[in-house]
Amino acid sequence: MRKNIVAGNWKMNTTVNEGVKLVSEIIEKSKDLSNVKLIVAPPFTHIFSVGEKLKGTDIGLSSQNCASEAKGAYTGEVSAEMLANIGVEYAIIGHSERREYYKECSETLLKKVKLALANGIAPIFCVGENLTEREENRHFDVVKQQIEEVVFNIDENDFEKIIIAYEPVWAIGTGKTATSEQAQEIHAHIRKVLSNKFAEKAENTSILYGGSCKPSNAKEIFAQPDVDGGLIGGAALNADDFIAIAKSF
Ligand code: 13P
């Protein structure tokens, strides 16, 4: 059985104090939630403090990235081992903002995914097309290639730990959301692509939707059979909205 997951990607927002306050509110307001796994992904500077708050709760701790090398002379990078060592359980890898602004390609992302897995961290691997690709009707091919170039290169046991996030770039931070039909159609396609390599194991993969997901649209999107939750940006910075989204299951 695949898990329902709602993950909050805080991106480059909040100070440490604000992040600790936000997670405290999330803990408080999520007490009666049972059918969904919550995950928060604060900036690197707050991971330790947020992790301390999360001790004894079921809320998962994620980073938003990790280095593509294991250790050494890579100024400014944070390794998967360092993250695992402070209790990080998940890492968002391949977010479209990383692909676009920091030119992360599949080769780099595969290294990150492998290092995360080697350190016991579950990757939340992001895929998604941009507006031109959608308009040219290439979105199915784009996500297929993104998955084949990375996920197809990990072994079957590791595959069980992977979470996929489908985030159409044109819906991120724009207020535009994929319709629930568009989300279902491409999530089903992603599961089909995964099953080409991993057969029935793809049935157990949680595939999250991301892109202007909010309390007002989450219910309809999460009701789709191949949508197993959301990767939330802006709305994850408000505890009430984040919990309202999680209660949409
Ligand atoms: P928004 O929810 O702000 O559109 O961001 C989505 C996202 O990129 C989550 O990773």
Q: Domains, the chain, ranges and CATH?
A: 5-246 (3.20.20.70)
**DSSP characters for the chain?**
-PPPEEEEE--S---HHHHHHHHHHHHHHTTT--SSEEEEE--GGGHHHHHHHHTTSS-EEEES---SSSSSS-TT---HHHHHHTT--EEEES-HHHHHHS---HHHHHHHHHHHHHTTPEEEEEE---HHHHHTT-HHHHHHHHHHHHGGGS-HHHHTT-EEEE--GGGTTSS----HHHHHHHHHHHHHHHHHHHGGGGGG--EEE-SS--HHHHHHHHTSTT--EEEESGGGGSHHHHHHHHTT-
- Ligand 1 centre from 72 Cα, in Å? 32
Say whether 187 is catalytic.
no
pLDDT band (50, 70, 90) for residue 1: confident
Residue 177: pLDDT band with limits 50, 70, 90: confident
Candidate from 100, 212, 248 with most ligand 1 atoms within 8 A of CB, to mutate: 212
Rounded to two decimals, the pTM is 0.98
Model pLDDT, residue 20: 98
Answer yes or no: is the C-beta of 231 below 6 A from any ligand 1 atom.
Answer: yes
pLDDT given at position 131: 94
18 is catalytic: no
Q: Ligand 1 centre from 201 Cα, in Å?
A: 27
* pLDDT tens-digit map of 97-112: 999 999 999 999 999 9
Question: pLDDT at residue 155 above 90?
Answer: yes
> Among the atoms of ligand 1, which is closest to the Cα of residue 236?
2
Among 97, 104, 133, 167, the active-site one is 167
pLDDT at residue 179 greater than cutoff 90: yes
pLDDT of residue 201: 97
